[in-house]
């Protein structure tokens, strides 16, 4: 859990929470919602650090480290239990029982419910009175985390401050992924496949990732149709797999988009380490990059429409050069 990186990439939300804390205007309940991997859980812990850290949430002191390690007695985290698919009503009851007791540590208390959108309506409704009026009169803040806002009952939404988490910018996500010891180019490619840094690390540890990455680099290095035929024959088995061809298409589309808008002084390219390949490709196809972008995007749509991966790969090799 990389809280400091999320604070940087979702700084607008962090600044709002920081301002509310400084002005004593924190809500009694927040609903953080957005796609998986956008930093909702990390921001909940950043908020907890703000509450107890003498330095305003530095993330470095002993208090912050205790919170981030899950060891602070006034911070409680609840999520979907292992081998379950939803938050259970029993977990909500346990939460209410825990917060009916007086804490041994002075100060506000904060509870984080991760996956509130998976809970049944009955489980969510059992939270309503507790959100409004916890049995213990200690100041209490609830943070509810959801991927699908529509699955959260309206009565909970109306009692919370809603914070939408947009996708983390790809280059910021690349930096987060690199903190796991992954190389720059691999982190850039992974950032195109997922918004979730943890999922990115899982992908990287899959041997197929390296195979597809190497095949992608070889693909964008092909300079003529004769060599492309050889490439097809050498790689057709690899790209008869749906997930492999999906990844290849994702990277090829980004490659073409960046080639279409390429400027030598653009340091914000996701595929910046491959700019030499981009320059070579532009020379080969001259002014016809844009039509190829549209052709390959159409291929990606065909894959979604159950055209076989092998046929999609065949068309890709025909239309790239």
Q: Which of 140, 168, 196 is a domain's end point? A: 168
Which residues lie across from 111 on neighbouring strands?
A: 76, 142
Same domain, 154 and 213: no
The yes-or-no verdict on residue 157 having pLDDT over 80 is: yes
Same domain, 18 and 146: yes
Give percent above pLDDT 90 in the chain.
Answer: 64
Provide the number of structural domains found in the chain.
2
Q: Which of 145, 168, 191 is a domain's end point? A: 168
Q: Which of 168, 187, 217 is a domain's end point? A: 168
CB of 78 within 8 A of CB of 114? yes
User: Which stretch of 81-85, 236-240, 251-255, 307-311 has the lowest confidence by average pLDDT?
Assistant: 81-85
Same domain, 163 and 18: yes
Q: Name the pLDDT band for 126 (thresholds 50, 70, 90).
A: confident
The yes-or-no verdict on residue 263 having pLDDT over 80 is: no
Domain assignment present for residue 96? The answer is: yes
pTM here is 0.78
Per-residue exposure over 184-194, b if at least 16 CB sit within 10 Å of its own CB, e if not: eebbbbbbbbb
pLDDT of 136 reads: 59
Same domain, 152 and 74: yes
Domain assignment present for residue 176? The answer is: no
Same domain, 24 and 154: yes
pLDDT of 249 reads: 96
- Mean pLDDT for the chain overall: 90
Same domain, 17 and 134: yes
Same domain, 158 and 246: no
CA distances in angstroms from 191 to 17, 98, 145, 288, listed in the order given: 27, 39, 23, 27
The yes-or-no verdict on residue 86 having pLDDT over 90 is: no
Domain assignment present for residue 138? The answer is: yes
d(CA 64, CA 171): 27
Express each pLDDT in 293-312 by its tens digit: 999 999 989 988 888 999 99
Give percent above pLDDT 70 in the chain.
Answer: 95
Domain assignment present for residue 150? The answer is: yes
pLDDT of 139 reads: 80
Domain assignment present for residue 78? The answer is: yes
Domain assignment present for residue 187? The answer is: no
The yes-or-no verdict on residue 81 having pLDDT over 90 is: no
Same domain, 52 and 108: yes
Same domain, 75 and 139: yes
CA distances in angstroms from 290 to 207, 245, 282, 285, 297, listed in the order given: 33, 21, 11, 10, 11
Domain assignment present for residue 179? The answer is: no
Same domain, 221 and 162: no
Domain assignment present for residue 256? The answer is: yes
Residues spanned by the domain of 106: 3-168
Q: In what order do the strands lie in the sheet with 140-146?
A: 75-79, 109-114, 140-146, 29-34, 161-165
pLDDT of 125 reads: 83
Express each pLDDT in 200-248 by its tens digit: 999 999 999 999 999 999 999 999 999 999 999 999 999 999 999 999 9
The yes-or-no verdict on residue 66 having pLDDT over 70 is: yes
Same domain, 255 and 311: yes
**Which pair of tokens denotes residue 64?**
């912050």
Question: What average pLDDT does this structure show over 190-202?
Answer: 93
Which residues lie across from 113 on neighbouring strands?
A: 78, 144
d(CA 199, CA 196): 5
Same domain, 154 and 282: no
- What CATH number does the domain containing 117 carry? 3.40.50.300
């Amino acid at each position: 859990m990389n809280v400091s990186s999320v604070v940087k990439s979702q700084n607008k939300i962090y600044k709002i929470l920081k301002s509310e804390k400084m002005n004593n205007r924190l809500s009694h309940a927040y609903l953080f919602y957005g796609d998986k991997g956008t930093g909702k859980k990390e921001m909940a812990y950043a908020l907890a650090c703000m509450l107890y850290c003498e330095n305003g949430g530095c993330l470095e002191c002993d208090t912050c480290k205790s919170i981030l390690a899950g060891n602070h007695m006034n911070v409680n985290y609840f999520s979907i239990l292992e081998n379950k698919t939803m938050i259970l009503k029993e977990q909500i009851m346990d939460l209410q029982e825990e917060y009916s007791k007086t804490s041994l540590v002075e100060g506000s208390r904060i509870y984080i419910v991760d996956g509130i959108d998976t809970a049944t309506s009955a489980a969510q409704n059992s939270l309503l009175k507790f959100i409004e009026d916890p049995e213990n009169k200690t100041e209490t803040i609830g943070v509810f985390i959801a991927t699908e806002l529509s699955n959260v009952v309206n009565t909970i939404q109306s009692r919370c401050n809603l914070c939408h988490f947009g996708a983390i910018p790809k280059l910021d996500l690349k930096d987060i992924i690199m903190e796991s010891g992954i190389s720059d180019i691999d982190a850039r490619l992974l950032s195109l496949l997922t918004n979730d840094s943890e999922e990115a690390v899982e992908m990287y540890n899959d041997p197929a990732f390296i195979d597809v990455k190497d095949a992608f680099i070889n693909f964008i290095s092909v300079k003529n149709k004769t060599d492309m035929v050889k490439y097809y024959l050498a790689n057709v088995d690899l790209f008869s797999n749906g997930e492999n061809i999906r990844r290849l298409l994702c990277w090829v589309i980004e490659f073409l988009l960046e080639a279409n808008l390429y400027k030598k002084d653009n340091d914000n390219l996701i595929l910046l380490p491959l700019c030499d390949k981009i320059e070579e490709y532009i020379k080969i196809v001259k002014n016809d990059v844009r039509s190829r972008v549209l052709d390959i995007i159409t291929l990606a749509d065909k894959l979604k429409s159950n055209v076989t991966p092998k046929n999609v790969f065949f068309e890709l090799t025909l239309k790239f050069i």
